Amino acid sequence: MKKLLQSLFILVFFAFGAMAQERTITGTVTSQEDGLPVPGATVRVKEIPNLGTQTGANGKFSLRVPANAKTLVITFLSYETKEFAIPSNNVLNAVLSSDSRSLNEVVVTGYGTQSKKELTGAVSSITGEKIQNLPVQTFDKAMQGRAAGVQVTTNSGQPGSGISVRVRGVGTINGSAEPLYIIDGVQVNAGGLSTATTQNVLGAINPNDIESIQILKDAATAGIYGSQAANGVVVVTTKRGKQGKTAVKLSVQQGVNSQINPYELLNSQQYYELRREAVVNRALRLGNPVATAVTNFNTASFGSATVDPTALTTTDWYNEVFRDANFGEYNLSFSGGNEKTKFFISTNFNNTDGVAIASDYKKGGIRGNIDNQISDKLSLEANLSLTYTKSGGPSTNAGFFTNTPFTGALYIPPYNTVYLPDGSYRNGANLRNAQNVNIIQHLNEELRSTKSIQSISNVALNYKPIPGLTLRAFGGIDFADAANYNYRPTTIPIYAPTGGSGSENSLRNFNFNTSATASYAKSINNDHNFSVLGGFEYRSATQEQLGASAQGFPSPLFVLISSASTPLTTTSTFTQYKIASLIGSLKYDYKSKYLFSGSLRYDGSSRFGNDYKFGLFGGVSGGWRISQEEFLKDSKIVSELKLRGSFGVVGTQPTTDFGALALYGSPGSTGAYNGGGSIRPTQLANPELTWEQTQQTGIGLDFGFLNNRITGAIDIYKKKTTKLLLDRALPSNSGFTSIRENGGRLDGKGLDFELTTVNLDLPNGFKWTTTFNIAFFKNKLIELNNGATRIGNTQIVGYPTNILYTFKYAGVNPADGRPMYYDKNENLTYVPVAGVNADDRIIGYGNPKSFGGFGNTFSFKGFSLDVLFQYQYGNSSYLQTAQILEASGMSIENQVTSQLGRWTVPGQITSVPRAYDGYTEPGGYDPTNLSSRYIQEASYIRLKQVNLSYRLPSSLVSKIGLQGVNVFLQGLNLATITNYRGEDPENTGNNLNGYPQPKTISGGITIDL
Amino acid sequence: MKRKLLIFSISLGLFLSSCEKMVQVEPKNSVSANVALGTISGYESLLNSAYVRFIAFTYYGRDFVLLPDVMSDNLYTELSVANGRYISQNSNQINAHMNLWTNSYLIINEVNTILDNIDKLTDPRVSQIKAEAYSLRALAYFDLARVYGYEPVNVATAGAGFDKSVPLRLKSTAVVADAAQSPRATVTEVYKSIEADLRSAIALFGSGASASRYRFNKGAAYGLLGKVYIYSGRWAEAVTELDNAMSTTNTGARLAAAGNYVAAFKATPNTESLLEFVISPTAQLSGVVGGNDSMYSYTHPNGYNAISTFGGQTASDELFALFNAGDDRLNMFFKFGGTSASPAPLFNWVDKYSAALGVYTDNAKVIRFSDLLLLKAEALAEQTQYAAAAAIVTQLRANRNATGVTVPTDINIKEFIQTERRRELFFEGQRWFDLKRRAVGISKPAKTGVATLAPTDFRLLAPIPNAEVLLGIQKNPGY
Among A residues 737-756, those touching chain B with beta carbons less than 8 Å apart: 737, 739
Say if the Cβ atoms of B31 and A538 lie within 8 Å. Answer: no
User: What is the rounded distance in angstroms from the CA atom of residue B168 to the CA atom of residue A239?
Assistant: 67
Q: What is the pLDDT of residue B285?
A: 55
A819-822 β-sheet, strand order? A808-812, A819-822, A828-829
More confident site: B430 or A2? B430
| pLDDT tens figures, A448-457 | 999 999 999 9
| pLDDT tens figures, B384-424 | 999 999 999 999 999 999 988 999 999 999 999 999 999 99
Residue of A252, A351, A330 whose CA lies nearest to A1005: A252
Say if the Cβ atoms of A604 and B22 lie within 8 Å. Answer: yes
User: What is the rounded distance in angstroms from the CA atom of residue B186 to the CA atom of residue B159?
Assistant: 12
Residue of A379, A394, A6, A456 whose CA lies nearest to A204: A456
Say if the Cβ atoms of A671 and B52 lie within 8 Å. Answer: yes
Strands A91-96 and A22-31: parallel
Query: Searching chain B, which residue's CA lies closest to the CA of residue A786?
Result: B471
Q: What is the pLDDT of residue B80?
A: 78
Query: Searching chain B, which residue's CA lies closest to the CA of residue A537?
Result: B19
Q: CB atoms < 10 A from the CB of A180, how many? A: 25
Q: What is the pLDDT of residue A984?
A: 86
Query: Searching chain B, which residue's CA lies closest to the CA of residue A433?
Result: B81
> How close is the nearest chain B Cα to the Cα of A27, in Å?
56
| Closest CB from A498, A661, A731 relative to B179 | A731
Residue B257 CA: distances (Å) to CA of A816, B350, B419: 59, 21, 21
Query: Searching chain A, which residue's CA lies closest to the CA of residue B311?
Result: A435
Residues from chain A that touch B303, judged by Cβ atoms under 8 A, are 428-429
More confident site: B25 or B456? B456
Give the domain range for residue B330: 287-350
DSSP type of residue A996: P
Contact partners, residue A191, CB within 8 Å, separation at least 6: A162, A178, A200, A201
Q: Is residue B50 part of a domain?
A: no
Say if the Cβ atoms of B180 and A686 lie within 8 Å. Answer: no
User: What is the rounded distance in angstroms from the CA atom of residue A854 to the CA atom of residue A866?
Assistant: 11
Q: What is the pLDDT of residue A20?
A: 44
Alpha helices in B71-125 (DSSP H): 87-90, 101-117
Whether the Cβ atoms of residue B265 and residue B354 lie closer than 8 Å to each other: yes
Q: What is the pLDDT of residue A99?
A: 56
Query: Searching chain A, which residue's CA lies closest to the CA of residue B55?
Result: A673
Domain count, chain B: 1
Hey, is the C-beta of A667 within 8 angstroms of any chain B C-beta? yes
Query: Searching chain B, which residue's CA lies closest to the CA of residue A835?
Result: B466
User: What is the rounded distance in angstroms from the CA atom of residue A824 to the CA atom of residue A840?
Assistant: 7
> Does position B465 have pLDDT exceeding 80, yes or no?
yes
B125: which strand partners? none
Q: Is residue B327 part of a domain?
A: yes
The DSSP secondary structure of B330-357, one letter per residue, reads GGGEEEE-SSSS-SSPPEEEE-SS--TT
Say if the Cβ atoms of A435 and B282 lie within 8 Å. Answer: no
Query: Searching chain A, which residue's CA lies closest to the CA of residue B91?
Result: A922
CA A37 to chain centroid, in Å, comes to 36
> How close is the nearest chain B Cα to the Cα of A749, in Å?
32
Look up the pTM and report it.
0.82
Residue of A72, A417, A317 whose CA lies nearest to A884: A317
Residues from chain B that touch A429, judged by Cβ atoms under 8 A, are 303, 339-340
User: What is the rounded distance in angstroms from the CA atom of residue A378 to the CA atom of residue A340?
Assistant: 11
Residue of A736, A730, A738, A733 whose CA lies nearest to B167: A733
The amino acid at residue A453 is I
How far is the first Cα of chain A from the last one, in angstroms, to the nearest whole number? 32
> How close is the nearest chain B Cα to the Cα of A565, in Å?
14
How far is the first Cα of chain B from the last one, in angstroms, to the nearest whole number? 77
Q: What is the pLDDT of residue A104?
A: 54
HEC string of A795-824?
Answer: EECCCCCCEEEEEEEEEECCCCCCEEEECC
> How close is the nearest chain A Cα to the Cα of B478, in Å?
14
Residue A497 half-sphere exposure, CB side, CA atoms within 13 Å? Answer: 25
Residues from chain B that touch A577, judged by Cβ atoms under 8 A, are 25
> How close is the nearest chain A Cα to the Cα of B266, in Å?
18
Q: Is residue B305 part of a domain?
A: yes
Helix, strand or coil for residue A726?
strand
Q: Cis check for the bond before A832: say yes or no (omega within 30 of 0).
A: no
HEC string of A521-549?
Answer: EEEECCCEEEEEEEEEEEEEEEEEEEEEE
Say if the Cβ atoms of A672 and B101 lie within 8 Å. Answer: no
Say if the Cβ atoms of A731 and B166 lie within 8 Å. Answer: no
User: What is the rounded distance in angstroms from the CA atom of residue B355 to the CA atom of residue B73?
Assistant: 24
Among A residues 383-402, those touching chain B with beta carbons less than 8 Å apart: 402
Mutate to test the interface with A, among B49, B92, B468 (most CBs of A within 10 A): B49
- The pair phi, psi for residue B381, each rounded to 5°, is -60, -40
B75: which strand partners? B315
Say if the Cβ atoms of A920 and B337 lie within 8 Å. Answer: no
Say if the Cβ atoms of A674 and B105 lie within 8 Å. Answer: no
A466: which strand partners? none
| Closest CB from A301, A672, A731 relative to B282 | A672
Among A residues 590-629, those touching chain B with beta carbons less than 8 Å apart: 604-606, 608, 613-614
User: What is the rounded distance in angstroms from the CA atom of residue A46 to the CA atom of residue A105?
Assistant: 19
> How close is the nearest chain B Cα to the Cα of A362, in Å?
28
Residue A636 half-sphere exposure, CB side, CA atoms within 13 Å? Answer: 0
Residues from chain B that touch A784, judged by Cβ atoms under 8 A, are none
Helix axes B413-425, B369-382, angle to 10 degrees: 170
The DSSP secondary structure of A733-752, one letter per residue, reads GGT--EEEEEEEEEEEEEEE
Low-confidence ranges of chain A (pLDDT < 70): 1-21, 33-35, 77-78, 98-105, 989-990
User: What is the rounded distance in angstroms from the CA atom of residue B23 to the CA atom of residue A315?
Assistant: 59
Q: Is residue B458 part of a domain?
A: no
Residue of A242, A245, A306 whose CA lies nearest to A272: A306
Residue of A245, A458, A471, A467 whose CA lies nearest to A379: A471
Say if the Cβ atoms of B44 and A733 lie within 8 Å. Answer: no
Helix, strand or coil for residue B206?
coil
Q: What is the pLDDT of residue A993?
A: 80
| pLDDT tens figures, A831-867 | 998 887 899 999 999 999 999 999 999 999 889 999 9
| pLDDT tens figures, A437-490 | 899 999 999 999 999 999 999 999 999 999 989 999 999 999 999 999 999 999
Q: Which domains does chain A have, with CATH numbers?
A: 19-96 (2.60.40.10)
Residues from chain B that touch A568, judged by Cβ atoms under 8 A, are 281-282, 285
Largest Cα–Cα separation, chain B: 111
Burial (CB < 10 A; 0-12, 13-18, 19+), residue B145, is buried
- The pair phi, psi for residue B387, each rounded to 5°, is -65, -40
| Closest CB from B283, B302, B472 relative to A672 | B283
| Closest CB from A658, A661, A669 relative to B282 | A669
Residue A514 CA: distances (Å) to CA of A525, A541, A798, B217: 36, 12, 43, 60
Q: Is residue B428 part of a domain?
A: no
Q: Is residue B337 part of a domain?
A: yes
Alpha helices in B77-158 (DSSP H): 87-90, 101-117, 126-148
| Closest CB from B35, B47, B109 relative to A734 | B109
Whether the Cβ atoms of residue B290 and residue A495 lie closer than 8 Å to each other: yes
Which strand (E) or helix (H) includes residue A481?
strand A469-488
Hey, is the C-beta of A289 within 8 angstroms of any chain B C-beta? no
Sign of the CA dihedral with A847 first, then A849, A852, and A854 last: negative
Say if the Cβ atoms of A435 and B306 lie within 8 Å. Answer: no
Residues from chain B that touch A739, judged by Cβ atoms under 8 A, are 176, 179
Alpha helices in A247-314 (DSSP H): 268-286, 290-302
Helix axes B40-54, B101-117, angle to 10 degrees: 160
Hey, is the C-beta of A569 within 8 angstroms of any chain B C-beta? yes
Say if the Cβ atoms of A734 and B182 lie within 8 Å. Answer: yes
Confidence of residue B14 (pLDDT cuts 50, 70, 90): low
Q: How many CB pairs under 8 A join A and B?
A: 244
Say if the Cβ atoms of A574 and B29 lie within 8 Å. Answer: yes
Q: Is residue B460 part of a domain?
A: no
